[in-house]
């Protein structure tokens, strides 16, 4: 199995229990409020697939199989702490295999009963089986992101990391970090905050470069599992959502829009991921419409050469942050 960044490896560790059952411990530092971040939880399930095939099917492929597609439904809010993971082998094939996975935790109302909080399907394939034609469609981000200082508009990434600025790109402060603690696991850079970007383009699109820093480690390296976390980590898009949500609530109540935007929670309902390549550097997030408190998000992760690393689509909700915490207490880190 591939070696992951140490602190991140601990956070997504999966331990075999036997009979296609596994255990994990969801960490509070990867939470939004009291709920483990959806991308982090998905990274745990990504690692579940790696662990399952290494443990249950070690001779199925000549090279370790890794997920190429994930389709997940977040049925109930998860909690920091122990989780039971179950796997059903749906199809074990020569090129691809598909498993049905469940993440179970004690019911909040009946702690002696386990509830399925996340369920879905993961399809894996070994690198040796990934053969076939390659073709470019000519796709490019639109609108084009603002240029950096290098020829051709490329961004000087070392300068951006070192000084926090290159061309129109600057280091961004993540909104509501005390609530969105999982966002502290990376540094973000963009051509302005979310609302400013959306006003510039006239769309809900967001561009960001991201540097992985699990546990504050500035030398953190992107891994395939970390890509999965990144695909659900877009604080600047939520910055724009916060403005829209606070404006909508104030309008409904006939009140002025508050200067300090209200905190909202955007829980993931469904998440679909298509892994194209390895090691992301930059991502673009686009929201098409927000209606009846439900959002849709398209995320494209690109590397520094503009090649697509991974794609994801998801459906989410817009609810008060109080729905996240409820009767729970946020752990102090």
Half-sphere exposure of 173 (CA within 13 A, CB side): 3
Name the residue among 134, 1, 121, 132 with its Cα closest to residue 66: 1
pLDDT digits (tens, 9 = 90+) for 249-284: 667 777 776 655 556 677 889 999 999 875 544 554
Query: Which segments of 179-267 are extended strands (E)?
Result: 186-190, 206-212, 264-265
- CA torsion sign, 154 to 160 to 166 to 169? positive
pLDDT, position 235: 60
Class of CATH domain 151-325: alpha beta
pLDDT digits (tens, 9 = 90+) for 309-321: 888 888 766 666 6
pLDDT, position 1: 42
Examine domains 6-126 and 151-325 and report if their fold is the same.
no
Q: How remote is the C-alpha of 168 from its chain's centroid?
A: 25
Mean pLDDT of the region 277-297: 50
Tell me if 298 sits within 8 A of 285, measured CB to CB. yes
Listing DSSP states for 87-156 in one string gives EEEEEE-SS-EEEEEEEEEE-SS-TTSEEEEEEEEEEEE-GGG--S---------SSPPPP-SSGGG---
Q: Which of 121-125, 145-149, 194-198, 245-249 has the highest mean pLDDT?
A: 121-125
Stretch among 9-13, 74-78, 198-202, 207-211 having the lowest mean pLDDT = 198-202
pLDDT, position 56: 96
Using DSSP, state whether 76 is helix, strand or coil: coil
CA angle 141, 43, 226 (to 5 degrees): 50
Structure tokens at 33: 């409020």
Measured in degrees and rounded to the nearest 5, phi and psi for residue 230 equal -65, -35
Name the residue among 84, 73, 80 with its Cα closest to residue 33: 80
Taking the domain 6-126, which CATH number applies? 2.40.160.210
Helix, strand, coil proportions of the chain in percent (round to 5)? 25, 35, 40
Name the residue among 68, 186, 165 with its Cα closest to residue 123: 68
Tell me if 38 sits within 8 A of 268, measured CB to CB. yes
Question: Residue ranges per domain, the chain?
Answer: 6-126, 151-325
Query: Rounded mean pLDDT of the chain?
Result: 81
Predicted confidence (pLDDT) at residue 332 exceeds the cutoff of 80: no
CB proximity list for 264: less than 8 A, separation 6 or greater: 238, 241, 242, 245, 246, 318, 319, 320, 321
Instruction: Kindly tell me the burial class for residue 62, based on how many C-beta atoms sit within 10 Å of its own C-beta (0-12, 13-18, 19 or more).
Output: exposed
Name the residue among 26, 28, 27, 25 with its Cα closest to residue 330: 28
**Other beta carbons less than 10 A from residue 214's beta carbon:** 23
Mean pLDDT of the region 180-187: 85
pLDDT, position 181: 83
CA angle 76, 104, 295 (to 5 degrees): 25
Predicted confidence (pLDDT) at residue 333 exceeds the cutoff of 60: no
Predicted confidence (pLDDT) at residue 294 exceeds the cutoff of 80: no
Which CA distances in Å does 154 have to 55, 129, 160, 175, 277?
Answer: 44, 34, 12, 27, 21
pLDDT digits (tens, 9 = 90+) for 123-181: 999 877 766 556 566 667 777 788 889 998 888 988 988 999 998 888 988 777 777 78
Pairing, β 21-26 against β 66-74: unpaired
pLDDT, position 244: 62
Predicted confidence (pLDDT) at residue 327 exceeds the cutoff of 80: no
Q: Does 1 or 35 have the greater pLDDT score?
A: 35
Confidence of residue 31 (pLDDT cuts 50, 70, 90): very high
Q: Which of 85-89, 238-242, 290-294 has the highest mean pLDDT?
A: 85-89
Which CA distances in Å does 151 have to 85, 147, 167?
Answer: 49, 9, 12
Which CA distances in Å does 118 have to 45, 121, 128, 231, 289?
Answer: 10, 10, 30, 17, 25
Model's pTM, two decimal places? 0.82
């Amino acid at each position: 199995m591939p070696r992951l960044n140490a602190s991140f490896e601990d956070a997504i560790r999966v331990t075999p229990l036997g009979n296609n059952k596994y255990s994990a411990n969801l960490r509070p530092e990867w939470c939004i409020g009291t709920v483990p971040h959806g991308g982090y939880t998905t990274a745990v399930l990504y690692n579940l697939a790696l662990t399952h095939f290494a443990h249950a099917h070690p001779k199925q492929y000549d090279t370790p199989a890794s997920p190429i597609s994930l389709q997940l439904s977040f049925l109930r809010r998860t909690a920091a702490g122990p989780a039971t993971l179950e796997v059903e082998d749906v199809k074990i094939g020569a090129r691809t295999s598909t498993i049905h996975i469940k993440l179970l935790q004690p019911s909040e109302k009946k702690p002696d009963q386990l509830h399925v909080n996340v369920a879905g399907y993961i399809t894996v394939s070994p690198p040796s089986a990934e053969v076939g034609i390659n073709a470019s469609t000519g796709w490019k981000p639109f609108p084009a992101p603002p240029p950096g200082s290098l020829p051709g508009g490329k961004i000087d990434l070392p300068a951006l990391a070192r000084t926090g600025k290159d061309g129109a790109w600057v280091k961004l402060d993540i909104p509501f970090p005390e609530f969105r603690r999982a966002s502290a696991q990376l540094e973000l850079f963009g051509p302005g905050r979310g609302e400013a970007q959306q006003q510039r383009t006239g769309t809900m699109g967001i561009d960001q470069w991201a540097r992985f820093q699990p546990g504050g480690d500035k030398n953190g390296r992107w891994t395939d599992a970390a890509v999965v976390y990144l695909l659900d980590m877009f604080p600047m898009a939520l910055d724009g959502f916060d403005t829209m949500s606070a404006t909508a609530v104030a309008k409904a109540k006939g009140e002025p829009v508050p200067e300090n935007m209200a905190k909202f929670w955007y829980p993931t309902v469904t998440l679909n991921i298509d892994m194209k390549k390895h090691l992301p550097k930059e991502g673009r997030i686009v929201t098409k419409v927000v209606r009846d408190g439900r959002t849709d998000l398209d995320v494209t992760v690109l590397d520094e050469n503009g090649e697509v690393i991974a794609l994801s689509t998801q459906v989410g909700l817009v609810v008060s942050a109080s729905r996240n915490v409820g009767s729970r207490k946020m752990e102090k880190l």
